[in-house]
Structure 1
Amino acid sequence: MKRFLPLLLLPLLGSAPKALPPVLPDSARLLTLRINGQPVEADTISSRFFLGTDRALRLNIVRADDPDGEGLTIIIDRFPIQAGTYTFQEILSGRNRDASYRYGSTAAYSKSCPDNPGSVTITGINAARHWLAGSYRCQVCESGRGGKRLTLEGTFRYPVEKE
């Protein structure tokens, strides 16, 4: 009888709840922004991701409290439209990658920092629906002497428009 006890428990295993993979929508307008670790609401209507005919990818992330402002702009020149990590330190490879940030009277640029680490990581591409998913992180420094260093980071799942 002890040999058949495990067989009696099999129907109970079938009734256990199964973990289903999350269903993600085909459209995308998810965008987060943190400045020096503090969350800042991003404006998903004013923010735009553009892919130019020269294959330059431009991420323009605008703050919700300044929808007419410039916000954060990250440029990746010669974007190969594939998943991967694109870092700002690869400027010597012939690809122009930099970031700039403007909010009110604050203007900051990645090239103003003596060390300007930054990256955009593309984790998903939906060519049919024209969106990218991933994350970004960059350091920018205020223009001028003694400017503050700002770390801007976040995640996205966002439509890409042709420029």
Structure 2
Amino acid sequence: MNRLLPLLLLPLLSLAPKRPAASPESTRQLTLRINGEAVKADTISSRFFLSEDRALRLNVVRADDPDGEGLTIIIDRFPIQAGSYSFQEILSGRNRDASYRFGKVAAYSKSCGQNTGTLVVTGVDATRHWLRGTYRCQVCEAGRGGRRFVLEGEFQYPVEKE
């Protein structure tokens, strides 16, 4: 009889409340590489914002510097759709800007002679307010003869209203 007791309890297990599994759409995924070297991103401090005038602002913060400025990418007049957004359009009147600060190094995309920044949005879930895609930009240390940094990564992240 003792061997049959677990079998008798089996139907009761199906009545127990089930915890919903975390869907891939609800998981925050954010990576950061600097000059090809992986750097842990802080998924709690990093934020993606969409303002009422549809300016998209991505702020990617390093885990080892949560109070730092991190990487900020702004896309003005974001159409809330998948596509490629190039930072070289700074001169076109649309606001494309990226900045990076770590320790004494300050880098800004506008200071590079050739800005190779691109934000590629591969997925948009407007009802759940999520974006998926990649970013890649080159930023330069402030001042003449400054070092160049290539910052890149992937994201699947919630977008908050600003």
Instruction: Give structure 2 stretches of 5+ with no counterpart.
Output: 1-21
Q: What is the aligned-residue RMSD (CA, Å)?
A: 1.3
Once the two structures are TM-superposed, the CA of residue 108 in structure 1 deviates from its matched residue by 0.1
Q: Matches of residues 129-148 of structure 1 in structure 2 within 5 Å?
A: 129-148=128-147
Once the two structures are TM-superposed, the CA of residue 117 in structure 1 deviates from its matched residue by 1.1
1:157 aligned partner: 156
SS at structure 2 position matched to 1:92: helix
Aligned amino acid, residue 31 of structure 1: L
Percent of aligned pairs sharing the same letter: 76
SS at structure 1 position matched to 2:41: coil
Contact 1:28 / 1:131 at 8 angstroms: preserved in 2? no
TM-score, normalisation: structure 1 = 0.83
Counterparts of 2:108 and 2:90 in 1: how far apart (Å)? 15
1:81 aligned partner: 80
Contact 1:100 / 1:140 at 8 angstroms: preserved in 2? yes
Q: Matches of residues 6-155 of structure 1 in structure 2 within 5 Å?
A: 25-155=24-154
Once the two structures are TM-superposed, the CA of residue 58 in structure 1 deviates from its matched residue by 0.4
SS at structure 2 position matched to 1:89: helix
Tell me the alpha carbon deviations over residues 88-128 of structure 1, each in whole angstroms, 9 at most, x when there is no partner.
11223331111100112111001111111111000001112
TM-score, normalisation: structure 2 = 0.84
Counterparts of 2:147 and 2:99 in 1: how far apart (Å)? 14
2:17 aligned partner: none
Counterparts of 2:91 and 2:61 in 1: how far apart (Å)? 29
Instruction: Give structure 1 stretches of 5+ with no counterpart.
Output: 1-22
Aligned residues: 141
Contact 1:123 / 1:133 at 8 angstroms: preserved in 2? yes
Contact 1:51 / 1:58 at 8 angstroms: preserved in 2? yes
SS at structure 1 position matched to 2:52: coil
SS at structure 2 position matched to 1:26: helix
